[in-house]
Amino acid sequence: MTAAAYTPGARVDHYEIIRKLGHGGMSHVYLAKDTARDTRTQQRVVLKFPNEDLIGNIAVFERYKREAEIGSRLHHPSIQRLLNANEASSDNYLVFEYIRGRTLREALEDRAPEPFPPAEAVRITLLLCDALAYCHENGVFHRDMKPENVMLLDDGNIKIIDFGIALLEGARRVTWRGLSGTMGTPDYMSPEQLRGERGAASSDIYAVGIMLYEMLCGHTPFEGENVFAIMNQHVSQDPPSILDYSPDLNPALATVVMRAIRRDPEKRYKQMRDMLHDLRNLEEVQPVPYEPDKPGPSKTRQEIVLALLITIALCLLIIAIGFLVQFLHHASP
């Protein structure tokens, strides 16, 4: 039976399928129960299978193995736990703890268009920063932080999920179906990722800053008619000041937010721990007037200029070849 065809009651080793939770471009995900445990306390788990049509793709298999290695490396209360690190299995799949709660995206939509109270937004972000600082210190960079990948638990804690495109420090670059390892979600992707760079700590800082911005004013800093318009804004300009939308926000908090989401990574926090420190100690943060950098040329304009330069160069080359042919013709006896 293929991963896409598992139905309630089907068995995969000692796991019994309860229902399908969803699927994406790279995997199918199921809720299941672990029947190897005492029948009265059978643990609910999440089974994640690579898509069947991608299993033959060596890059997909490398990502699968990398996600397993990352899961084995990370042990933090705010990160979803991998449960089958050293377990023999009859198929390729990962087993994660089942998390009861809702995503940050669902919480944002429930409140829309109203923002989160600042204290709650900061509390959630502190937990995110602490978990991601731990990841970075263990050589793991998530690279796809977004509200859909943050679970809010009933006890007030959070869980970061889906390390499917995470970068493992020292690991070779993996490409997938013509796409580089920069894959992510444009609303939260850093400019350097959108330019084709791998992204690391600074990209996670940028994404967390965008989520904090969204929680504090009810929307992301860049909005457009389509994904390409949004991507172009991320790459070509600094975000508008959060104080434009939330003028009563604590200026120190506004300073932290805007420092996290500068277009130039050199102007952002260097480490997640630095952002965490400032959020914990806002009374020590000196508010700084936000001065966005001058917008750079859009990607479209850059492409036009590049095409123009290539055209001019080709024309000059053709002219030069013409002169050379004439010179050789006249020089021959």
Active-site residue, selected from the candidate residues 13, 34, 130, 144: 144
Question: What pLDDT digit, counting tens, does each position of 147-201 carry?
Answer: 999 999 999 999 999 998 899 987 665 554 444 444 567 899 999 999 988 889 9
CATH for 16:
3.30.200.20
The answer to whether residue 154 is catalytic is: no
- The mean pLDDT value for 142-151 works out to 96
Which of 257, 253, 208 has the alpha carbon at shortest distance from 104?
Answer: 208
**110 and 255 fall within a common domain:** yes
Q: Which residue has the tokens 């944002």?
A: 108
**23 and 134 fall within a common domain:** no
Q: Answer whether residue 128 is part of any domain.
A: yes
- pLDDT above 90 (res 104): yes
**50 and 178 fall within a common domain:** no
Q: Which residue has the higher pLDDT, 298 or 225?
A: 225
d(CA 115, CA 213): 9
Domain hosting 60: range is: 3-97
Last residue of a domain, one of 76, 97, 118: 97
- From residue 207, alpha-carbon distances to 43, 83, 178, 204, 317 in Å are 33, 27, 24, 5, 45
Beta strand spans in the chain (E)? 11-12, 15-23, 27-34, 43-50, 94-97, 101-103, 140-141, 150-153, 158-160, 167-168
pLDDT of residue 182: 43
- The mean pLDDT value for 58-85 works out to 89
* Tokens representing residue 265 in the block: 């990574």
**182 and 262 fall within a common domain:** yes
pLDDT of residue 214: 98
Q: What is the mean pLDDT of the chain?
A: 86
Question: What pLDDT digit, counting tens, does each position of 15-65 carry?
Answer: 999 999 988 767 899 999 999 865 555 689 999 998 776 555 666 677 788
**What share of the chain has pLDDT > 90, as a percent?**
65
**61 and 170 fall within a common domain:** no
**208 and 323 fall within a common domain:** no
| pLDDT-based confidence at residue 108 (cuts at 50, 70, 90) | very high
Q: Answer whether residue 289 is part of any domain.
A: no
Q: Which residue has the higher pLDDT, 65 or 204?
A: 204
**24 and 105 fall within a common domain:** no
Task: Note the pTM of the prediction, 2 decimals.
Answer: 0.84
**56 and 77 fall within a common domain:** yes
pLDDT of residue 332: 56
| pLDDT-based confidence at residue 238 (cuts at 50, 70, 90) | very high
Task: Report the 10 Å Cβ neighbour count for 232.
Answer: 19
DSSP 8-state assignment for residue 297 = P
**111 and 247 fall within a common domain:** yes
CATH for 129:
1.10.510.10
pLDDT of residue 64: 81
**40 and 78 fall within a common domain:** yes
**261 and 119 fall within a common domain:** yes
- Total domains in the chain come to 3
**What share of the chain has pLDDT > 70, as a percent?**
78
Which of 188, 296, 190 has the alpha carbon at shortest distance from 237?
Answer: 296
Question: What pLDDT digit, counting tens, does each position of 239-288 carry?
Answer: 999 999 999 999 999 999 999 999 999 999 999 999 999 999 999 999 99
